[in-house]
């Protein structure tokens, strides 16, 4: 897969792409991520990329010419052009799973008061927002999209199926996770995780994931594809039962 990030500030983007998972994925050839400076595609001696708004108003707007020129220079037959835009659809794990099926993404990072509307109307195939808040530019959203999409590529995370076990991959939040030591400042790792009983551990994790999602992000349950048993567990949460009660040996025997 190839991803091009078009930005006025490559220096904001390159250090992130060179580090950690993204850096390793690039070095191993699992993904081809490139950064294009928008100024390289601007016209004139001064390489101007922005101008005042027609009709008045504060702030500068990115001109259409350099953005069109950049896309036209980078485009391949398999390109999908994505504009980082607060008016776009909200980025989710589902959208990341959709984008990872593309062979080539061009991510356009806006700046200042935004981009000329003709970029949205005539150049971009898609527009994505990473949330309802104001950022200085589209570089951070472009990096968020790049990170979330890249980790879904085969081989990037190493362990087979690792991406499917993460938060939101199943539609639920992840259950609590623990490592050594077994006891820290009076808090112990749940005994079930030390039991070696993989069936018990799997049930504990699923119940905990359901519980946390119901408590913290209940709206996610609507699209989580719950089984009848899982829907029953959610109803029991509503009646006041706790995950500990639902995973106790007596309850597990009763539920069989």
Q: Which pLDDT tens digit goes with each residue over 178-190?
A: 999 999 999 999 9
Mean per-residue pLDDT, 238-243: 96
Mean model confidence pLDDT for the chain: 93
Strands (E), 28-141: 32-37, 50-52, 60-62, 79-90, 104-109, 126-129
Report how far residue 150's alpha carbon sits from residue 115's, in angstroms, rounded to the nearest whole number: 26
Domains, the chain, ordered by start: 2-150 (3.40.1280.10), 183-255 (1.10.1270.20)
CA distances from residue 64 to 15, 77, 118 in whole angstroms, order as listed: 27, 22, 7
pLDDT digits (tens, 9 = 90+) for 210-233: 999 999 999 999 989 999 999 999
pLDDT of 162 reads: 59
Per DSSP bridges, beta strands 60-62 and 50-52 are antiparallel
pLDDT digits (tens, 9 = 90+) for 126-166: 999 999 999 999 999 999 999 999 999 999 998 655 555 55
pLDDT of 113 reads: 86
Residue 255 has pLDDT above 70, yes or no: no
| Cα angle value 214/129/148 (rounded, 5°) | 70
pLDDT digits (tens, 9 = 90+) for 18-75: 999 999 999 999 999 999 999 999 998 899 999 999 998 889 999 999 999 999 999 9
pLDDT of 249 reads: 73
The answer to which of 108-112, 160-164, 208-212, 252-256 has the lowest mean pLDDT is 252-256
């Amino acid at each position: 897969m190839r991803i091009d990030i078009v930005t006025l500030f490559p220096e904001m983007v390159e250090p992130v792409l060179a580090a950690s998972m993204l850096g390793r994925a690039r070095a191993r050839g699992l993904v081809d991520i490139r950064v294009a400076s928008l100024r390289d595609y601007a016209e004139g001696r001064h390489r101007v990329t922005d101008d005042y708004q027609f009709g008045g108003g504060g702030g500068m707007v990115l001109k259409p010419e350099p953005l069109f020129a950049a896309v036209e220079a980078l485009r391949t037959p398999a390109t999908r052009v994505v504009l980082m835009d607060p008016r776009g659809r909200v980025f989710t794990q589902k959208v990341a799973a959709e984008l990872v099926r593309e062979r080539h993404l061009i991510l356009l990072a806006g700046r200042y008061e935004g981009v000329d509307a003709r970029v949205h109307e005539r150049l971009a195939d898609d527009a994505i927002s990473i949330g309802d808040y104001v950022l200085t530019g589209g570089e951070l959203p472009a990096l968020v999209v790049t990170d979330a999409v890249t980790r879904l590529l085969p081989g990037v995370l190493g362990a087979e199926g690792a991406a499917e076990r993460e938060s939101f991959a199943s539609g639920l939040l992840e259950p609590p996770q623990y490592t050594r030591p077994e006891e820290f400042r009076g808090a112990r790792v749940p005994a079930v995780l030390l039991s070696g009983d993989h069936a018990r551990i799997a049930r504990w994790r699923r119940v905990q994931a359901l519980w946390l999602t119901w408590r913290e992000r209940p709206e996610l349950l609507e699209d989580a594809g719950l089984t009848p048993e899982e829907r029953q567990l959610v109803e029991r949460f509503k009646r006041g039962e706790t995950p500990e009660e639902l995973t106790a040996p007596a309850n597990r025997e009763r539920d069989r």
